Structure 1
């Protein structure tokens, strides 16, 4: 991972450019995830490029392979937002991730450079979104990990849990 630091407004911003080999070892993935944890909780962060997780379905936030599911867990755990909405090639391998809503905008796919199979991605860093203390808490359901929710609900014996209760109590 290599990156740049700069200023957007009065706050620091870090832009990291990453490449994950398709045959990368699990330990290297775990080291990378630890770096993401450290970076995402302390500053405005933008992660760019090829993560080589071809079986991730970004629409439903699911994956078949363990490595890809682990990557999704890392993205969810660190509350990173995936900013590219249209797939590149068959699967979306090239990503722009950020930890601040409103930081990255105007994301566009600009075609391939030369004979590369990768598409150029153009985006603007708009500003550093500051967290303003608020007395109102809201949930962002786009960041929810519904696979885990489904698994947990599937473990509940609903007939037994709701036995003897009316509609209001249930």
Structure 2
């Protein structure tokens, strides 16, 4: 199982958007799950600016001489997608890897980062019905008066649904 969440942060004026992702991967997962996570890794690494961090569960990964199959395959996907590993030491939290897809996006010493930006509330122009004020008793009474068998006689499922809508 892989859990991930990516958020695109809109850049101001002439600044590019940044995608920030968090990732958790169970240890010793199957090949099918690994393939799905590699596809996801490939898709998000195409972002203009990416910061991807999380617990990838490769505690014994060797960046210079990958040994086992899972670590080797993972490192190949990291390399194929031009991801750069930023952390050089183990952290005290559940973050074991931090990747960027562009040099200079983050420094070598990462302690904390803040996302500072304007929050905008977007006003929706879509009107919605207030179902709390609906008269369901009247609706039930009206629906019960329809002769459904004769109304649906000789027509297909799609036509029936269109009639109900």
Interval containing the TM-score (normalised by the shorter chain): 0.5 to 0.7
Task: Say what the alpha-carbon RMSD is for the aligned residues.
Answer: 2.3
Quote the residue 1:50 is aligned against.
55
**What does residue range 120-159 of structure 1 map to in structure 2 within 5 Å?**
122-123=112-113
For the residues of structure 1 that align with 2:107 and 2:10, how far apart are their CA atoms? 17
- Name the TM-score, length of structure 2 as normaliser: 0.58
- Of 39, 46, 60, the residue aligned with 1:41 is 46
**What does residue range 1-170 of structure 1 map to in structure 2 within 5 Å?**
1-9=4-12, 10-58=15-63, 60=64, 62-88=65-91, 94-105=96-107, 107-108=109-110, 122-123=112-113
- Name the TM-score, length of structure 1 as normaliser: 0.57
For the residues of structure 2 that align with 1:16 and 1:93, how far apart are their CA atoms? 12
Residues 93 and 11 (structure 1 numbering): CA distance in 2 closer, same or farther, change over 3 Å? Answer: closer
Give the unaligned 5+ runs of structure 1: 110-121, 126-170
Q: Is contact 1:105–1:123 with CA below 8 Å preserved after alignment?
A: no
Residues 5 and 50 (structure 1 numbering): CA distance in 2 closer, same or farther, change over 3 Å? Answer: same
Moved more, 9-18 or 44-53: 9-18
- Report how many aligned residue pairs link the two structures: 109
For the residues of structure 2 that align with 1:93 and 1:68, how far apart are their CA atoms? 17
Residues 88 and 63 (structure 1 numbering): CA distance in 2 closer, same or farther, change over 3 Å? Answer: farther
Give how far 1:57 is off: 1.6
- Comparing both structures, which one devotes a greater share of its residues to helix? 2
Structure of greater Rg: 2
